[in-house]
Amino acid sequence: MSSLEAAAERLAALLTGSTTTLADPSGHSDLEFTGAVTVRSLERGVAPADVWAVDGGQCLVADARCIQLLATRAARVRYVGGACVLEDEGELRATVLGGVDDRIAALTALGLDADGSVDVNLLRDYDEWLAVERCVEEADPGALVLVDGDLQPDWRVPSTFLAGLLERAAERGVVLAGITKHSSLARGGAPLLGWLEREAETLLGPRAMWWTPVARTRSDVGGVQVVAARLDPDARYSFRVDLPLGIDPEPTLGALSALCDDAAFPGYPYPLSVADRLAACPGWLRADLRHRLDDLFDTAGVPLEVRERAFADRHDLMERA
């Protein structure tokens, strides 16, 4: 048996197996799973009058392998009464990552422990959560703030940050909801959401909206509950949705579903789709940043030969030969 045949056999066993153990293989999870996962019908509600959405983007501007220049940003979008009133693509943060001094400088700029580690995931995540914090402070009472991904900041961000943010949001009558596009939650080693989608279609019908509790964080302080939900009858996929502990998921999901009827991507909140577009760092932006970097190198007197030897992609050069 070839390695591919063995791999296919293993995947087939996972995808069609009967094991029901729930897990999150992502690595830094603090989730405690429910004993049973049973889908239940969901009715569409009314969209909140004030809706915010936050998403982050990143790009690699220059790469010398031992040292890199990264750019990150977090976009914010606001809808009031169904109309978009804010599209803020966010300010680009340029960060050098390489030696010990660069790591300490990056962590210090984020206000984090200088003894920790840093990578592009932390940089992007931190920018996103600062943007979420701004949304909470500026939102009207009763607002919904949508976050791309789960409501668990990078493991290197102090847990007190989320606890304080959720507390301020509750005081202001603002609800945070994290929407994960591609969840790592598993059932018996296979994707949990795929199994739930098949189960819901069998029990409730092909066009049913549904939801089910999945897990919660072990700590009540800054605690989060995790549910799965299909938020539009035309949606092909369901999503993981994170909500603060202490709120009733069903009416919140019903209100959220009213934001998920966009024809381009049914089932996913359209304010987050706009934030995703704004935050993205496409190729032209990377090229523009590289041109600006070269101008600054000229000013600093860095010879062109030195730059090319540092940042040239040797793999790309050899493939062109």
The string of pLDDT tens digits covering residues 163-174 is: 999 999 999 999
Query: Can you list the positions of beta strands (E) in 3-110?
Result: 22-23, 31-33, 40-41, 50-63, 68-80, 83-88, 93-97
Could you tell me the two tokens for 118?
């840093």
Could you tell me the two tokens for 4?
């591919």
CATH of domain 30-252+273-281: 3.30.2170
Q: For residue range 72-103, list pLDDT tens digits in order.
A: 999 999 999 999 999 999 999 999 998 888 88
Q: For residue range 30-69, list pLDDT tens digits in order.
A: 888 887 789 999 999 999 999 999 999 999 999 988 899 9
Task: Give the best-scoring range by mean pLDDT among 27-31, 54-58, 115-119.
Answer: 54-58
Q: What is the dihedral of CA 167, 129, 245, 237, to 10 degrees?
A: 160
> What residue segments make up the domains of the chain, in order of their start?
30-252+273-281, 294-320
Average pLDDT score over the chain: 91
CA–CA separation, 171 and 133 (whole Å)? 13
Q: For residue range 244-282, list pLDDT tens digits in order.
A: 998 999 999 999 999 999 988 899 999 999 999 999 999
Q: Look at residue 8 in the predicted model and tell me its pLDDT.
A: 94
Give pTM, 2 decimals.
0.90
The band of 159, judged by pLDDT with boundaries at 50, 70 and 90, is confident
Question: Are residues 247 and 255 in contact, defined by beta-carbon separation less than 8 angstroms?
Answer: no
Residues 12-44 as b/e (b if ≥16 CB within 10 A, e otherwise) read eeeeeeeeeebbbeeeebebebbeebebeebeb
**Phi, psi at 272, each rounded to 5°:** -70, -30
